[in-house]
Structure 1
């Protein structure tokens, strides 16, 4: 094995370790999820949240019939307002989720959708305690049913544990402070809730992992790991709709590798792929967290800079242009070479849509190419 092959093998090992770490980090927290995936997952959660709330908003008051058939009339009568209160809360959450799909708001509604049934259980249990009536099995199992519903949503580990805390804390506090349950009995109940919660969280992570895999296969360029053109257009259209008629703005740059065809001809297409991977990794390192980097096609890349004027975008474009040729690449024969890029940079205005914005950036890129390459043209 020659030096180049050893370097490549070591690089592949490092990439594998990094990928495993990144996959685990994505399951633990949404901190490193892309904005587009956050929106996609949020829409998925919102749909399931509305379905769950609507289903139980209807089922909870219907269960009143069974209360009057199974319990004493006094107990069933006391449970009636609790059932309708929970049903009203669930209908309200359903309505709010239908009106607002923003990520933070959906998280708040999801938290409330699990907190309300826990408080409802406490209210029911209190009514049975007040009337000295033994708690039926269907009511006793309610906290475990609530916990099991967590498995419906593709949540991260941190979010799943947070919701498990939201569900169990009111129930445990009520049993400890008002029912004076023995420590062993309470610990046993919390242990069972934890077991149900563990299964539900395992299902959550499985859903999240599958959703991320499907998302990456349909939206991520397999060679560079950047988002593809379809997702890029969707992101630009979203930014455009948010900025029209407001003081907000954003900038777009198109990068094209200089003399890339010569690299393929001289060193082979495998080396060309290595160059594309290197450039994409450089872009990931140079852009900010909220910036959008995409492979536009061939050797062209696009970077979108939200909330960034042209004046503030120019130093970022300069930093990227300087960083790309800063590292020497080595071909199979041991020859070292560097690559440069030409950049067209422009800022959004109210008359733009995604197509016109990219067309203007592409025209500026052509000017940069005509000016001798390895340069930036902006407007």
Structure 2
């Protein structure tokens, strides 16, 4: 499905692998604990920063990729511990993701609900895939505490190389398709042009 269409889905019945993102601003309860110098972009800011970054990379022949990170089965945490817990988990996860991604010089945006967009310049497909897989592992190694419970998380990541001038929607749509593959093939993994090509 086109990315913009999927972004207009309402937060209704959760799906294991279909994007459940909302275009609205961050919910009031989403308050990541972040150092002031780190910035979590909105969707609009992600587009404003992403489009010229991609254009510069294409003009200079520099590799660039875009990814969508999705928390696996966040709705089950909400069902087991309540919505307040899920909001806290989402907030802490967003903070963890931003810190780890900022160390890798990635732009990070909250796309809605349990999904985040990332943009990485300067690494080819193999390097970017390895980098995002390390990020996936580091996120899994940071369980989040809630009223005496330690809640472990895994993520699925769809990563698309940028090969030529397209709309930013198309780049995100490609990442979304790889995310769909990651969800369908078991979650807790990175699927990209590189991994897809390696399998085939």
TM-score by length of 1: 0.40
- Would the aligned equivalents of 1:223 and 1:273 in 2 still touch at CA under 8 Å? no
| Correspondence for 2:16 | none
Count of residue pairs brought into register by the alignment: 160
Describe the SS at the equivalent of 2:136: helix
Compared CA separation, residues 328 and 350, structure 1 to 2 (3 A): closer
Structure-2 change in CA distance of 1:260 and 1:369 (3 Å): same
Q: CA deviation at 1:234?
A: 1.1
Q: What is the aligned-residue RMSD (CA, Å)?
A: 2.0
SS at match of 2:62: coil
Map 1:109-128 → 2, pairs under 5 A: none
Larger Rg: 1 or 2? 1
Question: Shift of the alpha carbon at 1:239?
Answer: 1.4
Give the number of the structure with larger relative contact order, counting CA–CA contacts within 8 Å between residues 6 or more apart.
Answer: 2
Q: 1:272 offset after TM fit, Å?
A: 1.1
The CA distance in 1 between the partners of 2:26 and 2:86, in whole Å, is 19
- Equivalent-residue separation in structure 2 for 1:246 and 1:310 (angstroms): 17
Q: CA deviation at 1:327?
A: 2.4
Where does 1:1-379 land on structure 2 (aligned, <5 Å)? 223-224=31-32, 226-287=40-101, 288=103, 290-332=105-147, 334-379=148-193
Q: Could you say if the C-alpha distance between residues 354 and 314 of structure 1 is closer, same or farther in structure 2, counting changes exceeding 3 Å?
A: same
* Structure-2 separation of matches of 1:240 and 1:330: 37
Q: Give structure 2 stretches of 5+ with no counterpart.
A: 1-24, 35-39, 194-200
1:255 is paired with a residue whose SS is strand
- Point out where structure 1 has 5 or more consecutive residues left out of the alignment: 1-218
Corresponding position of 1:210: none
Between Structure 1 and Structure 2, which shows a larger proportion of helix residues? 1
Using the alignment, how far apart are the partners of 1:281 and 1:232 within structure 2?
A: 17
Q: TM-score, normalised by structure 2?
A: 0.73
Q: Is the 8 A contact 1:240 1:353 kept in 2?
A: no
CA distance in structure 1 between the partners assigned to 2:52 and 2:105 by the alignment: 14
